[in-house]
Chains A and B, each alone.
Chain A
Amino acid sequence: MIISVASGKGGTGKTTVAVALAKAINYCQFIDYDVEAPNADLFLKPDIKHVKKITIRQPYFFTSSGKSFKTCSDFCHYNAVAAIGNDVIFFSELCHGCGGCMLVGPEGLIREKEVVIGEIRKGFCCPGINFLMGDLKPGSMRTTTIQSELEKNIDYDNYVIIDCPPGNSCSMVMAVKCSDFCILVTEPTPFGLNDLVISIDVLNKLKIPFGVIVNRFGIGNDEVINYCQSRNIKILAKIPNDLNIAKYYSQGLSLVDFDPTWQKKFTNIISDIDKEILQK
């Protein structure tokens, strides 16, 4: 059972909910898919046992040959290769590492080299959480390449909690697409609702069942609640807008540390999701 925790708007409490879920289940795999800004490790404090560097292959051009590399430049959809006379200016951050320039360019004058774009880290958290995270190197745009590497390590036989990146674009799709159920965390504000609606649209297209957790309940207005009720969208929980929760958060503590009754509430949410998925 794979449960992803996503949110269109950033800062609504994805990691708060994902960490609390993992702690409530206890024996599960936790994956921080927010490789551009991973932070779940601050709360789960994993003992990292294994680090794997993730590389892509990028071209190296031998420009002293006196041959033009214009075919490479014309081919490159991402405009990473500027061919000026017989010289080349290569823009590494634009290169997707497709290898196309090697096929169309002058034979033998382009070699590939490995370039590190980030790493994935594996470890354990007490008592039984298998922890996995991706960390993209600042400046690199290859978010989904790191995420594909995480995907290869999903433990399909166990409960898996996926902490998604914010937003509704490629990196969010990568994070939710393997899940059996998605928990959308939102806040009851116009901004929260606007981005929730977009997330719901994405999940419907991907045919992934979902429920909503309203965080910071008490601020804003009733529109999120009304929207969900009018469309029969299940509200799994409402987390109150409590300054003490923020205080715990800032100390690297989880919602279940703050108030142990959340342990039970999240266990119930999981069993409800279990039932819903198994009925299908």
Chain B
Amino acid sequence: MKVCISSTGITLDSNVDPRFGRCAYFIIYDTSTDTFEYYKNESRDAMGGAGIKAAQKALENKVDTVISGSIGPNAFKVFQSSQIKIYTGVSGSIRSAIAQLKNNELTQAAVPNVQSHYGMVR
């Protein structure tokens, strides 16, 4: 599994960022090798459609699973179009989120858990 996690920092001890489109970093974690990469979220300060751009970038990285605190309707639509597994409402460290995912302790989200522009209130 290749997992995209919205993160506040660049290590596994960083926290899951509560916002998807406007998070600080993305961590791409490969569960088959237990290795990860990270990149800065360039759409963080977008005027609009931050989630759309961030979701597209995640898909370009060939992820099949996404974990975040909250995902709005637009990013959700982009992920759904590619049958990506979406987990929202996740908090705590990246390390614990991965552990929960591996132990099947996370529940897949069927609908977006926040409205558009949720992440713009900092």
A positions within 8 Å CB-CB of B: 73, 76-80, 82-84, 87, 89, 91, 94
Contacts and interface: CB of A to CB of B under 8 A. Distances in A.
B120 to A, nearest CB: 13
B59 interface: yes
A73 B56 contact: yes
B48 A78 contact: yes
A140 B81 CA distance: 24
Given A77-B47, A89-B77, A83 B52 contact: no
Contacts of B49: 76, 78-80, 91, 94
A165 B38 CA distance: 45
B81 A84 contact: yes
A80 B50 CA distance: 10
6 contacts: A80-B52, A82-B55, A89-B77, A89-B81, A94-B48, A94-B74
A91 B52 contact: yes
Interface residues of B, number: 16
- Of residues A76, A77, A89, which shows the largest number of chain B Cβ atoms within 10 Å of its Cβ? A89
B56 to A, nearest CB: 5
Contacts of A79: 43, 46, 48-50, 52-53
B78 A89 contact: yes
A76 B78 CA distance: 16
Given A73-B56, A79-B43, A79-B46, 10 more contacts: A73-B53, A77-B47, A80-B49, A80-B52, A82-B53, A84-B59, A89-B52, A91-B52, A94-B48, A94-B52
Contacts of B59: 84
Interface in B88-121: none
Given A89-B77, A89-B81, A91-B74, A84 B56 contact: yes
- Of residues A76, A79, A83, which shows the largest number of chain B Cβ atoms within 10 Å of its Cβ? A79
A84 B53 contact: no
A77 B52 CA distance: 12
Contacts of A89: 52, 77-78, 81
Contacts of B50: 79
A126 B47 CA distance: 45
Interface in B30-59: 43, 46-50, 52-53, 55-56, 59
B78 A82 contact: yes
Contacts of A91: 49, 52, 74
A89 B73 CA distance: 13
Nearest to A88: B81
A246 B68 CA distance: 49
Nearest to B55: A82
B64 to A, nearest CB: 14
B115 to A, nearest CB: 13
Contacts of B77: 89
B58 to A, nearest CB: 10
A71 B47 CA distance: 19
A89 B55 CA distance: 11
B107 to A, nearest CB: 25
Contacts of B74: 91, 94
Nearest to A141: B48
B48 A87 contact: no
Contacts of B46: 79
A78 B52 CA distance: 10
A249 B48 CA distance: 38
A79 B43 CA distance: 9
